[in-house]
Amino acid sequence: MLERAMGLFEAKGMKLTDLRRRVLTEIAASHQALGAYEILDRLSTKGPRLAPISVYRAIDALHAAGLVHRLESRNAFFACHSHHEPDRDQVFLACEKCGRVAEIQGEQVFAALNALVAKAHFQLRRSVTEMTGTCAACQSRT
Ligand SMILES: [Zn+2]
Ligand SMILES: [Zn+2]
């Protein structure tokens, strides 16, 4: 995970600073998507209290590098584990029971959406697709 992170940062001419590394480790250690304040709290139990702005910036940098994704509906972040191209269109699957977030490749979904949007003469900037439901592990637990 950290090796991949270093590679991605280097490719963008950015640095994986100590804080970025710690924020990434925290996000990757959680199976759930974490909000910025949750990340801040977790880091604070392991060292001095950090300024929220520096944690936000670290999250932004990790997001820009494609190492973490943002779950818009919850304003929370989760680590990318699927080794896709940074700009690939992904569909996020958020489990309502355990909070786990998975991602699947959604190229076909987005191609269909883009075609519909173009038909409406709408200039698209960005699209996000998030699905909520129950993950496979939670289904077998019932
Ligand atoms: Zn991903
Ligand atoms: Zn679940």
The pLDDT tens digits of the residues spanning 64-84 come to: 998 999 999 999 999 998 878
* Ligand having the closest approach to the CA of 65: 1
Q: Which CATH number fits domain 2-79: 1.10.3720.10, 3.30.420.40, 3.40.640.10, 1.10.10.10?
A: 1.10.10.10
Domain with CATH 3.30.1490.190 in the chain: 90-141
Residues 27-33 have a mean pLDDT of 93
Q: Which ligand is nearest to the CA of 138?
A: 2
Residue 58 near residue 17 (C-beta atoms within 8 A): yes
- Centre of ligand 2 to C-alpha 48, Å, is 33
Nearest ligand to the C-alpha of residue 99? 2
Distance 117 CA to ligand 1 centre (A): 24
Q: Give the span between the Cα atoms of 9 and 30, in whole angstroms.
A: 22
How far away, in angstroms, is 90 Cα from ligand 1 center? 7
Q: Tell me which residue of 86, 107, 101 sits closest to 132, measured CA to CA.
A: 101
4 alpha carbon, closest ligand: 1
So what's the architecture of 90-141 in CATH? 2-Layer Sandwich (3.30)
| Chain centre distance of CA 42 | 17
85-135: pLDDT as tens digits: 777 789 999 999 999 999 999 999 999 999 999 999 999 988 889 999 999
- The pair of structure tokens assigned to 140 is 């077998």
- Residue ranges of the chain that CATH labels 1.10.10.10: 2-79
